[in-house]
A and B are shown apart, each in its own frame.
Chain A
Amino acid sequence: MLLPEHDFIKPRSLAEGLAVLRDAPPGVRLLGGGTDVVFNMRCRLMTPDTVLSLRDIPELQGVDVLPDGSLRLGAATRLTDLVADPVLRERYPALVKAFRAVASRHVRNMATLGGNLCLDTRCWFTNQTKEWRDAKGPCLKTGKDVCHAIQGSPICVALNNADSPPALIAVDATVTLASHRGERTLPLRDFYREDGIRHTVLEPDEVLTEVTIPPTRDRLVFLKETARQGMDFSYGTIAIRADGNGARATRLHIVLGSLTTAPRDLSTAGERLVALGLGDDGIDAACATIRDALGPLTNLYSPAAYKRELARTLLRKAIVELREMPA
């Protein structure tokens, strides 16, 4: 479990960093706070020749209010700083709750927003020491045509276990990806892929530079279920954004996290709740759509049947919290 030898580059500007990536040398790994990458390197799950640290790039820092009222969050901003940010705390308490839900204070003091959004997918057949994996035998992610989690699965079904994506997706956040070729901005929803190996659309020469949150006065709720309070990956998360107040809403955006390979939108559930309201009938109708919306689930970290039950519980609790929010 020692860190393997590697080169370490710490560019002082975005241009400098993108120039390194322009030649797209194989074996470069981007590093935010290192709380995910370093551990994966220790497990030999990642064996980069070069680690490129984004931590000290000034363009990637801080929280800004844009003229249209949007918020711009630099990708290298530490989660601790986001949790403490006065603007975020005032406008998006549920978003702050999601950032604070990540791991422990010690980890958040290192971890960055970009790192959490890019957090590698996790699977208990893969996120093990090299010796463990050698004993089990390789899988889709580690070089063979086998999935240990779902036998016969053609794609890797490792879980997206990050806490911040569902809440940011629910508020229609966008991400900006920069490379020497230029910049592109896309909804965070479209950043994720249903493939545990290439789980984002980030190209090898690209850097996630910032997250933009459009202004909204909608209600937002975030819930996380874990085995213990803090310092843990979640069994499941949910973020729900809704307009209106009380039991009335005309637009709902429901996103589940940690149960699947990419965060999962529950659009049918949202439609039922809009049609029936946020009362218990609406909740029951929305819960009835969960099985189809989730499809087949893995037993990774918790049993599939529990994951489905948990999704219903999270939905029910989040809607109750939402409808009881003061107008």
Chain B
Amino acid sequence: MSSPDDLSVIGRRQPRLDGFDKVSGRSVFTDDIVLPGMLHGRILRSPHSRARIVSIDTSRALALPGVKAVVTNADAPDLLFSDQQPLLAQGFVHYVGEEVAAVAATDPLVAEAALDLIHVEYEVLPAITSLRKAMQPGAPRLHEWAPGNVALTHEKDFGDPDAAFAASDLVITDEFRSPVQHNTLAELHVALADFTNPAKLHMWTPTQGAPMYQMALARAFGLETSQVRIVYGNVGGAFTGRGRAKPHHFIAALLSRHAAKPVKIKATGDEEFIMFRGSGETQYRFRTGVTRDGRIRALEADVSFDAGAHAEWAMILWLPAPYLNWLYKVDAVRYRGRFIYTNTVPKGSHHGGIFGRLSAGWMQHLNHVAEELGMDPAEFHRKNAIEAGHHALDGSDFASCGLKECIDKVVERSGWKDKYGKLPPYRGIGIGIGAQASGGKNAANDTSAAMLRVADDGIVTLYTGIPDMGQGSHTVMGMIAAEVLGVEPEDIRIVGGDSDITPFDWGAFSQRGTFTTGNAVKAAAQDARGQLADTIAPLLGVAPADLEFAHRRVWVRGEAPDAPSRSFSFREAIGKAFNGVEGRSVMGRGFFNSPRPSGSLAYSFGAQVAEVEVDPESGAVKVLKVTAAHDIGRALNPLAVEGQLDGQVFSGMSQVLYEECRMDGGQILNPSRLEYKLPRTYELPEVEYILVETIDPYGPFGAKEVGEGPIVVTMAAVANAVANAVGEMLPQIPMTPWRLLRVIRYRKKRAAVSGP
């Protein structure tokens, strides 16, 4: 509809509308909220990876002055956290950290003391605490219903993989592993429940989306969804970690119902690592068939996930299957995935979902394929890359696609051709590519709705359920509303984060915020503008369609924005509507849902080149530069897009090089910010941003997602760069100094033996 020149707000480098509140400490987070009579909840967790609960005695804890409630499974035997999984352990525990009992007390120290007074007698049983052991033939069965400890499988063939592999000139197989990883969120897990009125559960908690929490809590406690209110004012990061309600949310509600007081539970110390449910150990086997001239015929991925003791996150099992179809024009794709039970905390995902860790291996594998063919990997990716209009084997359609342009740009700007294969020892360069869906439909709908009202002072209040978790979604929603109404972003007040007030929105996951909620906000703003135009057009003697809205002015198209008697200020216009005979209060509403039956309407694409230096003496890696080109449709707020790139380059590099939960059986040895090594800002490399704008026909003003696409590509590029620096593929992330030193020493020895 509009050319870029028509846009007055979109495309502007807009600082966050809530930036000042955030940096000045004025923003309110869940833990800041204290309710009258509020109690402090604590959770007693299993010390065993697997045990039978012989008995639980809570009498001494209940007798402690200040203790207002103690709950065990006996108090809520039918309360299920998920299928086949009671909220509080029932007869057995299956992992270290499993919720066994909980207390609420007037003081956090009293609650802590009460935990010590709960006596649980356990009969310890043999446990399986690693993916490898759980998959061994003849391994003991963890759950009766799961032979081979296989919780779930997902098998998909697109095209005829057997025929495609048979027709290939070269077939290559590689294996990789990724570890248990945890996402260290800025805001620790916390839930404040007020269930003193049994007909209404109020819960303050950070979330990626209220409806999933409302539905889960309503189902568990026998309420209607509307009887559960989720309040989530500011959210300190999520990164896939706040998509679903977790046991502590249910436990806070249960304690509140028992004590008839509000109860707050927040993660203490290593509890954060148990509550989070980060990504589990994962094994990958990739197989690719190519023709001699470098065309990919067949792609195959076989992935085994450690699900933990319960299969809570089946979605990550399905996701790789479509993803394998989104980058290359191929004859066939095969995916084999399985979820394996182990006696460890149930697992979910880390920043980048499954795609980042998968890409760290897959892109090394494809690099290997290119090198076997004697092809430059960048050329190999480009030769096989899809283009706009491509219809993939999984049914996905790509209305816009700048993948080839992204590859071309990073190759050019990084100086790839002068560097690849020509760097001195222990300097490396690597390329990765990736794609990501902007929202996606797995269930009946993928709906976001929005409302806005325009007050007679010209201030616009936008009601949206999309959480701002730090990604700047509220600012972008404000910009969209401002663009449509012809006002400034500062004129938009956001009311968000309260499911009793804000219209329906599934929330901020699957990269649906900008795309789906953005379209809903745009529709709501257009509705409001339409009402305003209808009311004031007659005053100017024109049809509503003849009005222009921008820069806080409304004027007759073709005239100057401030032409006397042919224009109004926005505030004058809204005043005329409100104070006119009709007395119109302008309130817009809108919603958006993908018309596709499933999958996504739009996909982002990206390519990155990373350059690294490995210290052969210490094994330490320094990432020197990342050149990142991303097709994001349109950068609604380039400042926010660059922030996303910085954050994702940082996190992607961190996962490839640093992050690992070091396990001791079922226990995490490094469950703290000190010992779970994350790099600091000093380690962030120079990032060169290249924004490729393909103006997607379905996105709001042409925008696609930028919330997860980049990290997936960073993980691929950094992994390839390190492999390039040391001279061989690295089958395991993170690429820690000790793993790299081992490879470097081994290669030196081999070189010494085989001679020059």
Question: A interface vs B, CB < 8 Å?
Answer: 1-2, 4-5, 42-43, 124-125, 128-129, 131-132, 134-136, 148, 225, 227-233, 235, 301-303, 305-306, 309-310, 313, 316-317
Question: What residues on A are CB-neighbors of B48 within 8 Å?
Answer: 135
Question: What residues on B are CB-neighbors of A232 within 8 Å?
Answer: 674, 677
B677 touches A228 (CB 8 A): yes
A124 touches B677 (CB 8 A): no
A233 touches B268 (CB 8 A): no
B682 touches which one: A131, A229, A305, A310 (CB < 8 A)? A229
Whose C-beta in chain A lies nearest to the C-beta of B43?
Answer: A131
B617 touches A124 (CB 8 A): no
A309 to B271 alpha-carbon distance, docked (Å): 34
- 13 new A-B contacts at CB < 8 Å, known A136-B664, A228-B658, A228-B677: A124-B662, A124-B669, A124-B670, A124-B675, A129-B270, A131-B269, A131-B271, A132-B269, A227-B737, A232-B677, A305-B738, A306-B737, A306-B738
B269 touches which one: A1, A228, A301, A302 (CB < 8 A)? A1
Whose C-beta in chain A lies nearest to the C-beta of B108?
Answer: A2
Question: What residues on B are CB-neighbors of A4 within 8 Å?
Answer: 109
B109 touches A129 (CB 8 A): no
CB within 8 Å of A: which B66-90 residues: none
Whose C-beta in chain B lies nearest to the C-beta of A306?
Answer: B738
A317 to B617 alpha-carbon distance, docked (Å): 9
Question: What residues on A are CB-neighbors of B669 within 8 Å?
Answer: 124-125
A132 touches B738 (CB 8 A): no
Question: What residues on B are CB-neighbors of A124 within 8 Å?
Answer: 662, 669-670, 675
Question: What residues on B are CB-neighbors of A230 within 8 Å?
Answer: 680, 682
A228 touches B683 (CB 8 A): yes
A149 to B664 alpha-carbon distance, docked (Å): 11
A15 to B527 alpha-carbon distance, docked (Å): 79
Categorize the interface residue count of chain B.
35 or more
A235 to B658 alpha-carbon distance, docked (Å): 14
User: Which of A148, A227, A229, A305 is the most central at the interface, judged by chain B CB atoms within 10 Å of its CB?
Assistant: A227
Question: What residues on B are CB-neighbors of A2 within 8 Å?
Answer: 108-109, 112, 268
Question: B interface vs A, CB < 8 Å?
Answer: 45-48, 96-97, 108-109, 112, 268-271, 617-620, 658, 662, 664, 667, 669-671, 674-675, 677-680, 682-683, 737-738, 741-742, 745
A1 touches which one: B268, B617, B680 (CB < 8 A)? B268
Q: With A228-B677, A233-B674 as given contacts, are A302 and B738 in contact (CB-CB < 8 Å)?
A: yes
Whose C-beta in chain A lies nearest to the C-beta of B47?
Answer: A135
B683 touches which one: A129, A136, A229 (CB < 8 A)? A229
Q: How many A-B contacts if CB must be within 8 Å?
A: 84
Top-8 shortest CB links A-B? A135-B47, A306-B738, A229-B682, A227-B677, A129-B269, A1-B269, A313-B617, A1-B268
B658 touches A227 (CB 8 A): yes
Q: How far in angstroms is the closest Cβ of chain B from A217?
A: 30
Q: How far in angstroms is the closest Cβ of chain A from B247?
A: 15
A302 to B670 alpha-carbon distance, docked (Å): 11
Question: What residues on A are CB-neighbors of B108 within 8 Å?
Answer: 2
B270 touches A228 (CB 8 A): no
Question: What residues on B are CB-neighbors of A233 within 8 Å?
Answer: 674
Question: What residues on B are CB-neighbors of A225 within 8 Å?
Answer: 618, 620
A-B contact pairs, 24 of them (CB 8 A): A2-B108, A5-B109, A124-B675, A129-B269, A129-B270, A131-B47, A132-B671, A134-B47, A135-B46, A225-B620, A227-B677, A227-B737, A228-B677, A228-B679, A228-B680, A230-B680, A231-B680, A232-B677, A302-B737, A306-B741, A309-B738, A310-B737, A313-B617, A317-B617
Q: How far in angstroms is the closest Cβ of chain B from A132?
A: 5
A310 touches which one: B271, B618, B667 (CB < 8 A)? B618
Q: How far in angstroms is the closest Cβ of chain B from A224?
A: 11
A303 to B409 alpha-carbon distance, docked (Å): 41
Whose C-beta in chain B lies nearest to the C-beta of A304?
Answer: B738
A317 to B620 alpha-carbon distance, docked (Å): 14
Whose C-beta in chain A lies nearest to the C-beta of B668?
Answer: A132
Question: What residues on A are CB-neighbors of B96 within 8 Å?
Answer: 135
Q: How far in angstroms is the closest Cβ of chain B from A315?
A: 10
B618 touches A301 (CB 8 A): no
Q: How far in angstroms is the closest Cβ of chain A from B369?
A: 32
A227 to B738 alpha-carbon distance, docked (Å): 11
Q: How far in angstroms is the closest Cβ of chain A from B146?
A: 25
B667 touches A136 (CB 8 A): yes
Q: How far in angstroms is the closest Cβ of chain B from A298?
A: 12
Q: How far in angstroms is the closest Cβ of chain B from A161?
A: 11
Question: What residues on A are CB-neighbors of B619 within 8 Å?
Answer: 306, 309
B671 touches A128 (CB 8 A): yes
A132 touches which one: B270, B620, B742 (CB < 8 A)? B270
Question: What residues on A are CB-neighbors of B675 within 8 Å?
Answer: 124, 301
A229 touches B618 (CB 8 A): no
Question: What residues on B are CB-neighbors of A313 within 8 Å?
Answer: 617-618
Q: How far in angstroms is the closest Cβ of chain B from A291?
A: 14
Question: What residues on B are CB-neighbors of A235 within 8 Å?
Answer: 737
Q: How far in angstroms is the closest Cβ of chain A from B124?
A: 11
Whose C-beta in chain B lies nearest to the C-beta of A316?
Answer: B617
A2 to B269 alpha-carbon distance, docked (Å): 10
A134 to B662 alpha-carbon distance, docked (Å): 18
Question: What residues on B are CB-neighbors of A134 within 8 Å?
Answer: 47
A125 to B663 alpha-carbon distance, docked (Å): 11
Q: How far in angstroms is the closest Cβ of chain B from A147?
A: 14
Whose C-beta in chain B lies nearest to the C-beta of A103?
Answer: B674
Q: How far in angstroms is the closest Cβ of chain A from B612?
A: 15
Q: How far in angstroms is the closest Cβ of chain A from B740?
A: 10
Question: What residues on A are CB-neighbors of B46 within 8 Å?
Answer: 135
Whose C-beta in chain A lies nearest to the C-beta of B745?
Answer: A309
User: Which of A124, A233, A301 is the most central at the interface, judged by chain B CB atoms within 10 Å of its CB?
Assistant: A124
A1 to B675 alpha-carbon distance, docked (Å): 16
A125 to B664 alpha-carbon distance, docked (Å): 9
A125 to B669 alpha-carbon distance, docked (Å): 7
A128 to B671 alpha-carbon distance, docked (Å): 8
Question: What residues on A are CB-neighbors of B47 within 8 Å?
Answer: 131, 134-135
Question: What residues on A are CB-neighbors of B269 within 8 Å?
Answer: 1, 42-43, 129, 131-132
User: Which of A4, A225, A317 is the most central at the interface, judged by chain B CB atoms within 10 Å of its CB?
Assistant: A225
Question: What residues on A are CB-neighbors of B678 within 8 Å?
Answer: 228
A317 to B680 alpha-carbon distance, docked (Å): 24
Q: How far in angstroms is the closest Cβ of chain A from B38?
A: 16
A228 touches B617 (CB 8 A): no
Whose C-beta in chain A lies nearest to the C-beta of B97?
Answer: A135
Q: With A124-B670, A303-B738, A309-B741 as given contacts, are A131 and B680 in contact (CB-CB < 8 Å)?
A: no
A43 to B109 alpha-carbon distance, docked (Å): 13
Q: How far in angstroms is the closest Cβ of chain B from A200?
A: 23
Question: What residues on A are CB-neighbors of B667 within 8 Å?
Answer: 132, 135-136
A1 to B109 alpha-carbon distance, docked (Å): 9
Question: What residues on A are CB-neighbors of B682 within 8 Å?
Answer: 228-230
Question: What residues on B are CB-neighbors of A231 within 8 Å?
Answer: 680
A127 to B611 alpha-carbon distance, docked (Å): 37
Q: How far in angstroms is the closest Cβ of chain B from A69?
A: 37
Whose C-beta in chain B lies nearest to the C-beta of A3?
Answer: B109
A94 to B620 alpha-carbon distance, docked (Å): 22
Question: What residues on B are CB-neighbors of A42 within 8 Å?
Answer: 269
Whose C-beta in chain B lies nearest to the C-beta of A43?
Answer: B269
A134 to B664 alpha-carbon distance, docked (Å): 14
Whose C-beta in chain A lies nearest to the C-beta of B115?
Answer: A131
A232 to B679 alpha-carbon distance, docked (Å): 10
Question: What residues on B are CB-neighbors of A316 within 8 Å?
Answer: 617
A131 touches B741 (CB 8 A): no
A235 to B738 alpha-carbon distance, docked (Å): 11
Q: How far in angstroms is the closest Cβ of chain B from A121?
A: 15
Question: What residues on A are CB-neighbors of B670 within 8 Å?
Answer: 124
B268 touches which one: A129, A227, A317 (CB < 8 A)? A129
A316 to B677 alpha-carbon distance, docked (Å): 26
A87 to B627 alpha-carbon distance, docked (Å): 45
A233 to B673 alpha-carbon distance, docked (Å): 12
Question: What residues on B are CB-neighbors of A229 within 8 Å?
Answer: 680, 682-683
Whose C-beta in chain A lies nearest to the C-beta of B681?
Answer: A229
A148 to B669 alpha-carbon distance, docked (Å): 12
Q: How far in angstroms is the closest Cβ of chain B from A293?
A: 19
